[in-house]
Amino acid sequence: MDIKKRRTMKKIGIIGATGSIGTQAIEVIRKFKNLYKIEFLVSYSNYKKLFEIAKEFNVKKVGIIREDIEIKNEDFIIYKGKDEILSLIEDIDLLFVSTTGTFSIFPVLKAIEKNINIALANKEVLVSFGKIVNEKLKTSNSIIIPVDSEHSAIFQLINPYKNEFIRIILTASGGPFLNFSVEEMENVSVEMALNHPTWKMGKKITIDSATLFNKSLEIIEAYYLFGTKNIDVVIHPQSIVHSFVQLKDGSLLAHLGFPDMRIPIAYALSYPNRLETPSVITHPYDFDKLTFLKPDFEKFPSLKIGYFCLENLSYYPTIMNASNEIAVYSFLEGKIKFRDIFKVVEETFNRIEKEKLKDETLEDLLYVDNLSRTIANFIVSEISKKR
């Protein structure tokens, strides 16, 4: 490869390379190997898959977030744990962040500090620490390009109209239990909840889509990305319209396409340019009837909590995100029932001693995150004892 060609390649690092989104990002990059140079790859613990990808793309530096795993491999330079992984974030054009959980805030802040653009698939980072992230962005040239499909749609629609839009309308598929009664939802199995009607995603987000907590998290994500509290949610079971932006002249802009995460992933990788789609080209003839319904706040109290968080911000979204995560994994492990997820989050809000909480620094919010998890775990053990 000649030097000129190498210079035009985008240098990227991927945190969370082996998960659902990370794997699809690799798939996109595989199609455009001439455009991207992967500098490093990081995974939470799946080093076998990580080594495979690293070998394929000739990547020398690999990171494992979990520090307690013994790994030996002469072919790679292995970075273990937070500090070593953060040291990788230098001299790249784009950091792709697709890990789940709290860890992701650290690479995001490091990238902002280094003026590196971020393709962000982890919405929890903005939900829990959006205030800190936005504060840091003010003194940086970094841009966050959302990978979440709704936010990618809004990002694409809103850019020319930053001062002329009046509302964001997020679409939600409604999940597998959209037409279930509250009683019918009472005894749904993990398997049923994991069976999403339109999107193929990781387990945590699939459960979040079934409870609609995913949409509540996305309301907060949208607030921190686009700076408005005028955010509506509309149920759109076909998942063809990925979101709307309403302009002050009455225009309603929409972004349409088949539900395929490789499209927003490709956009985040190529922004501000476009790649030829790795997906199918859609035509309006391809779509069946498109429907838009009002969400049921009684059946899905998650949305009430989401709007409460939007209204009050501060540490409330952090509490929602942390307690929901504990509740979801407890449900997946069979410790609580599906609708107990709502109970765990509501009860965490009730029990946490808000007068002791602060939201000024990252440490304050990490404390809230941690405390919420402890309380949520306690509530889970109470519920499972009663069963």
Q: Which residues bind Mg ion (CB under 5 A)?
A: 148-150
Specify the residue, 201 or 357, whose C-beta has the smaller distance to Mg ion.
201
Q: How far is the CB of 170 from Mg ion (least distance, A)?
A: 8
Q: How far is the CB of 387 from Mg ion (least distance, A)?
A: 32
Specify the residue, 62 or 125, whose C-beta has the smaller distance to Mg ion.
125
Q: How far is the CB of 108 from Mg ion (least distance, A)?
A: 18
Specify the residue, 124 or 150, whose C-beta has the smaller distance to Mg ion.
150
At which residue do the structure tokens 């700076």 appear?
A: 227
Helices (H), 139-202: 149-158, 182-186, 190-193
Q: How far is the CB of 317 from Mg ion (least distance, A)?
A: 16
Q: How far is the CB of 175 from Mg ion (least distance, A)?
A: 12
Q: How many C-beta atoms surround the C-beta of residue 225 within 10 A? A: 24
What is the identity of the amino acid at 72? K
Specify the residue, 100 or 149, whose C-beta has the smaller distance to Mg ion.
149
Closest-CA residue to 267 (of 17, 28, 26):
28
Q: How far is the CB of 74 from Mg ion (least distance, A)?
A: 40
Q: How far is the CB of 214 from Mg ion (least distance, A)?
A: 6
> Tokens in use for 291?
């429907």
198, 243 Cβ separation under 8 angstroms: no
Q: How far is the CB of 264 from Mg ion (least distance, A)?
A: 9
Specify the residue, 39 or 148, whose C-beta has the smaller distance to Mg ion.
148
Specify the residue, 171 or 377, whose C-beta has the smaller distance to Mg ion.
171
Angle, vertex CA 144, rays to CA 221 and CA 13, nearest 5: 120
Enclosing H/E stretch for 11: strand 10-15
Residue whose CB is nearest to Mg ion in the complex, by number: 148
Specify the residue, 123 or 299, whose C-beta has the smaller distance to Mg ion.
123
By three-state DSSP, how is residue 304 classified?
A: helix
Closest-CA residue to 235 (of 209, 268, 270, 255):
209
C-alpha–C-alpha distance, residues 133 and 308, integer Å? 21
Specify the residue, 149 or 156, whose C-beta has the smaller distance to Mg ion.
149
Q: How far is the CB of 135 from Mg ion (least distance, A)?
A: 25
Q: How far is the CB of 178 from Mg ion (least distance, A)?
A: 16
Please state, in angstroms and as integers, the Cα–Cα distance from residue 24 to each residue in 29, 94, 260, 270, 290, following that order: 9, 16, 10, 14, 27
Running DSSP on this structure, what letter comes out for residue 293?
A: B
Specify the residue, 150 or 369, whose C-beta has the smaller distance to Mg ion.
150
What is the identity of the amino acid at 37? K
Closest-CA residue to 233 (of 300, 284, 164):
300
Specify the residue, 148 or 325, whose C-beta has the smaller distance to Mg ion.
148
Backbone angles phi, psi at 308, to 5 degrees: -60, -45
C-alpha–C-alpha distance, residues 147 and 264, integer Å? 5
At which residue do the structure tokens 């069946």 appear?
A: 288
C-alpha–C-alpha distance, residues 384 and 83, integer Å? 37
Backbone angles phi, psi at 39, to 5 degrees: -85, -40
62, 77 Cβ separation under 8 angstroms: yes
